[in-house]
Amino acid sequence: MSWMQRLAASALLAAAFLAAAGCARQPEPAAPSEALTPEQLIESRCTQCHDRGRIDAASYDAAGWTAVIDRMVAKGARLTEEEKAALVEHLAAD
Ligand code: HEC
């Protein structure tokens, strides 16, 4: 094998390796910190125990929604502090 052939062969190997690595890459799961919109939060965190009709029927100010959501969290709803704040703001707005 000439040095040219060796060079070509290792370049091919490197290309094949890179292609394989590219194909093996899994789609990235959504980062847990990725913020959901308030509507997505309602769909994903507030409809396990009752449908969203209850939420749409209720009308509170921010303090009222904070109290309701704290009660829901005590029952088992899963929300971070940031998500809770975003949801209160959204729900109190309409
Ligand atoms: C673990 C179950 C559970 C989850 C999750 C849950 N709820 Fe509830 N929710 C209840 C139960 C049980 C009631 C009825 C008893 C009560 O009002 O405390 C209720 C009642 C309500 C009511 C009507 C009562 C009122 O005071 O107006 C609203 C509004 C409400 N939920 C909003 C929400 C929101 C917003 C979320 C998401 C953050 C949520 N719920 C998630 C169990 C849950």
pLDDT tens-place string over residues 16-37 = 655 655 555 656 655 555 789 9
CA distance 86 to 35: 10
Q: pLDDT digit string (tens) for 61-91?
A: 999 999 999 999 999 999 999 999 999 999 9
For 41, the enclosing helix (H) or strand (E) is: helix 38-45
Give 39 or 29, the one with higher predicted confidence: 39
Q: Which domains does the chain have, with CATH numbers?
A: 38-93 (1.10.760.10)
Give 10 or 45, the one with higher predicted confidence: 45
CA of 15 to the centre of ligand 1 (A): 56
CA of 34 to the centre of ligand 1 (A): 24
pLDDT of residue 12: 64
Q: From 28, 24, 23, 41, select the one nearest 84 (Cα to Cα).
A: 41
Establish whether residue 88 lines the binding site of ligand 1, counting it when its CB lies within 6 angstroms of any ligand atom: no
